[in-house]
Each structure stands twice: as structure tokens, then as C-alpha cells.
Amino acid sequence: MTKSLAADWHAQLRRLSRVQARTETRVKSWLERFDSLNPLTPPRPQDVPSRPPRPAVVPATPPTTPPWSPRSARSARSAWAAITPDELPGTWQAHRLRLAALPGELVPQLSYQLYIPSKRHRGPLPVVVLLHGCRQTPDAISAGTRMNALAEQEGFIVAYPQQPLRRQVQRCWQWFDLSAAEGGREAHAVSALLDALAARQDVREREIYIAGMSAGAAMAAVVALRYPGKVAAVAMHSGVVIGAANTPHSGLYAMRHGATAEPAWLLDAAGVTPGGPAMPALVIHGLADDAVHPVNGRLLARQFLAYNGLEDRLAATPDPAPAEEPGRCREYRFGRWSRDLVALVEVEGLDHAWSGGDASYGFHSDIGPDASAMMWDFLRQHRR
């Protein structure tokens, strides 16, 4: 009798132990979830092996001529590449921008993350709005591009809009469908974010820039050209020519082949009217890109030449040849009054990835000059 009761007690104690372990696991999961919802909590790197702590002191890098060139970007990368996201002294905030609802729209809002550098940068600051690519998140692109580290060093704010899964299952910005309810709605939402940022007291309203990667680059082009009065300059990495598609299928074709129509003609299809306020543009594209054909980089650059009323000297340039030396760059600059207005940088050996980024994140490569530094050095030269 005593032996059977002891066996029962031991069995109950084992069950109680298992229940306590499960409860502890659930409570820990809930606490982590609540912690992730706290806007002041620094983001955790995604899909990246743990790294030992490194010093957070970043030496300044003097500019070279031209300040945005690939050569100066290589120097900038060596200065601050050691910084990891959780070491940055600035704040990482989560925000939601409410939008006027469209018929049938269930959640009329745009979520975005904001990196604000530390208080050593005083007064209103410039802003870079960075649009992620497909299958990316603000956490991933901010860490992979090291844009927050650059913002901390140089003194500017970075905003990262988030494409929700409810709009596109791979989080792609719908540059290929610019109807009012799809891509057109997304472009309008980003423009509303530009207005909200311009209204902040800590922002220089004449120094608001937009940039993007892949689908985000194409959407950045759409926003910059549809709302040129709100953007001082735009930078695009691995983007697609705009106006060449109106369905996902035709968008895939444009990604793989570009477009046969004249790039200037496609501006009208994208809802863009040339001749508005000047729009400085930097285009970066890898010549080994097998997701978005490199011809798209040239087509995008030609669209900005047409919009800005510059001679299209790229039309007579031979198509990009196969890469010969990984990381080597080919530069094309166009402008007026000794000022670069449109620039194209082609990076040999670079696939569909951010040049000079953190290769431990998807869609980022350590091949080529630092695209983040090159973008900032180009953007900062322009005002609205």
C-alpha cells in the first residue's frame, strides 16, 4: 500500500514538474513578446550569428572628391563597419501612421521604425526614408545596410516603412501595380509619412530623402517622381524601371528583361509628369544581379535624365558587359552647372544584394563599395 502511494506521489510530482517547466517557458515567451513591443527596446539581429562586443567609438572619415564616389564609400566603410546594432547609442522607435481609409480597407495605417541618433547631434536633422525589398523587414535592412550606424556617425534620422503581409505576402512594395488601391495607395501612404516627418520639430523639412532596395527602390522612384515637392533627392539600389508593368506577371518580365519602350515614355504610364521640381537621383546596380537584370539600372537612370531634362547620353552606351573584377565600379555622372544631378554606379561581381553591406544578412554583400555611405554622400548635397 505504502509502495503504491509513493509511486503515485512520484508520478504526480513528475507531472507537476513538467507543468512548471511549460509554464516557465510560456511566461518567458510572453515576456519576450511584450519586450519586442516596447518601442525603446533595441532590435535583435535576425538570422545572424552572435558576435563579441566591439568598441562603439567611430572615427570620422574626411570627404573626397566627388564626395559620393565609390572610392570615398570604401573609406567610410572601414571607419564604422565594426558597429553592431545593439551598441548604437541612439533610439529605435516603433510608430504607426493613421491614414484616411479607402473603401473596403480594413487597417488604414502605415507602420514604420525610426532611428534617432544620440543627443550629441543637436538641432533639427535630415531624414532618410529607406524602403526595404521583398522578404525583408526594417530590422533586417537597417542592420544589413548598417544605415543606423552611419546615421549615428553623420547625424541624420532614418525612417523604415514596413510593407504589411496583408497587402503583399512577400512584403514587396507593389511598384508593378500602381492602381489606386494597390501600389498607388502604398506610394500615397509613403508620401503621407514624408508629410508627418516634415512636421516634426527635430527634422529639417528641406532635407528629406528617400531610398530603397529592389522593390523598395522601384517604389522610392515612384514616390520621388510623383511627389517631387516632398523629396530632396532619391537613391535606388537594384531597382526596376517604372511604368513597364501593371501586373505581377509583367513585373516579373520587367525584372528579368527590362523594357523595350523608351524609358521617358514609361514615365507617363507610372503617373509621372516630367518637368516638375528637379529630382537628383543615384542609381546603384550589381552587374551579376540575376534577380533584377542590370539593364534596369540604366533604364532607371535614363528615366531620371528624361524627367530632369538632361541629355540621354546613356542611350548610346553599350549594354553592361559581364563582370571582370568583383567590386570594381563603373560610374556615369550627369548634371548641370558642375553639379551631379543623376548618377549611375554599376558594381562588377555584385548579385542582387546591397553593395558593401553585412553579408551575414540576406540580400546584403561585402562585395563593392559601401552603398549606404555612397547614398548619404550623394543625398546630403541636395535640398528642396
Interval 210-269: pLDDT, tens = 999 999 999 999 999 999 999 999 999 999 999 999 999 999 999 999 999 999 999 999
Evaluate if residue 65 carries a pLDDT over 60.
no
Residue, of 77 and 264, whose pLDDT is higher: 264
The number of residues in the chain equals: 384
**Topology, domain 92-379:** Rossmann fold (3.40.50)
Task: Quickly tell me which residue has 480597407 as its cell.
Answer: 105
pLDDT band at residue 5 using 50, 70 and 90 as cut-offs:
very low
Beta bridge partners of 125: 203
Task: Quickly tell me which residue has 524627367 as its cell.
Answer: 307
Q: What are phi and psi of 158, to 5 degrees?
A: -125, 130
Q: Look over the chain and give the mean of its residue pLDDT values, rounded to a whole number.
A: 83
- Full-model pTM: 0.80
Buried b (16+ CB within 10 A) or exposed e, 228-262: bebbbbbbbbbbbbbbbbbeeeebeebbeebbeee
CB of 375 within 8 A of CB of 280?
no
Alpha helix stretches (DSSP H) within 63-182? 70-80, 138-145, 147-154
Q: In percent, how much of the chain has pLDDT > 90?
A: 63
The set of residues, in sequence order, having a beta carbon less than 8 Å from that of 141 and lying 6+ positions away, is 130, 132, 133, 147, 160, 213, 354
Q: What is the pLDDT of residue 337?
A: 81
In sequence order, what E strands does 73-145 have?
Answer: 91-98, 109-116, 125-131
Domain ranges of the chain: 92-379
Evaluate if residue 45 carries a pLDDT over 80.
no
CB of 289 within 8 A of CB of 251?
no
Q: What is the pLDDT of residue 59?
A: 35
Residue, of 24 and 173, whose pLDDT is higher: 173
Q: Give, rounded to a whole angstrom, the gap between the first and last alpha carbons of the chain.
A: 89
- Measured CA to CA, the distance from residue 25 to residue 13 in angstroms comes to 18
Q: What is the pLDDT of residue 40?
A: 37
pLDDT tens by residue, 89-139: 899 999 999 998 887 777 789 999 999 999 888 889 999 999 999 999 999
CB of 136 within 8 A of CB of 46?
no
Q: What is the pLDDT of residue 77?
A: 52
Cell of 50: 552572435
Between β-strands 109-116 and 91-98, what pairing exists: parallel, antiparallel or unpaired? antiparallel
| CA distances in angstroms from 147 to 66, 137, 142, 143, 317, listed in the order given | 21, 14, 6, 7, 32
